[in-house]
Amino acid sequence: MKILVGIDGSKNALRALRFAIRLLRRIEGRHRSIVMLSVHDDTALRAASHFVGNEAVDDYLSDLSQADLAPAIALAAKSGLNYEAIEGRGPLASTIFDTAKAGKCDLIVLGSKGRSGIKDLLLGSVAQRVAAISNVPVTLVR
């Protein structure tokens, strides 16, 4: 089983990773792995690249992703499971789904930020959008 876990540097993302690790430990077999994905939407920053250059924008977003992924990598390394850490760019929900699909993941696990119901109705959430567009099962961890 291969599980994609969305990593955004939050406690909820680490909680989702711990859930995925516990789930994989319960499953027999050699093919158990975790894909940790940190995604940053670069749409707004691409306009800034005209002033600072594409490399500066890419470096900035990579630094953000590496900071988000560092505690998750440490946790995954201690698990003894196979894992990989990926940096993604683009719209959050579609990038999460596209990465899961391309990586042939069996499950997407995301942390829930627990926003109020009214805010979710007005703004939506990344987790809700992923669940809406995905044909890969999605588990939200609170």
Share of the chain above pLDDT 90, in %: 72
Q: Going by C-beta distance under 8 Å and a sequence separation of 6 or more, which residues neighbour residue 54? A: none
CA-wise closest residue to 31 among 79, 78, 82: 82
What is the overall mean pLDDT for the chain?
90
Strand order in the sheet with 33-40: 82-89, 33-40, 2-6, 107-111, 138-141
Whether the pLDDT of residue 124 is over 70: the answer is no
Higher pLDDT, 68 or 28: 68
Distance from the first to the final alpha carbon of the chain: 22
Selecting from 3.30.70.520, 3.40.50.170, 3.40.50.620, 3.40.50.2300, what CATH number does the domain 2-141 have? 3.40.50.620
- Cβ atoms within 10 Å of 37's Cβ, excluding its own: 27
How confident is the model over 35-89, as pLDDT tens digits?
999 999 988 887 777 788 888 889 999 999 999 999 999 999 999 999 999 999 9
Name residue, tokens 């600072």. 52
Name residue, tokens 């760019």. 89
Buried b (16+ CB within 10 A) or exposed e, 50-59: eeeeeeebee
Q: How confident is the model at residue 28 (pLDDT cuts 50, 70, 90)?
A: confident
pLDDT at 115: 44
Half-sphere exposure of 46 (CA within 13 A, CB side): 7
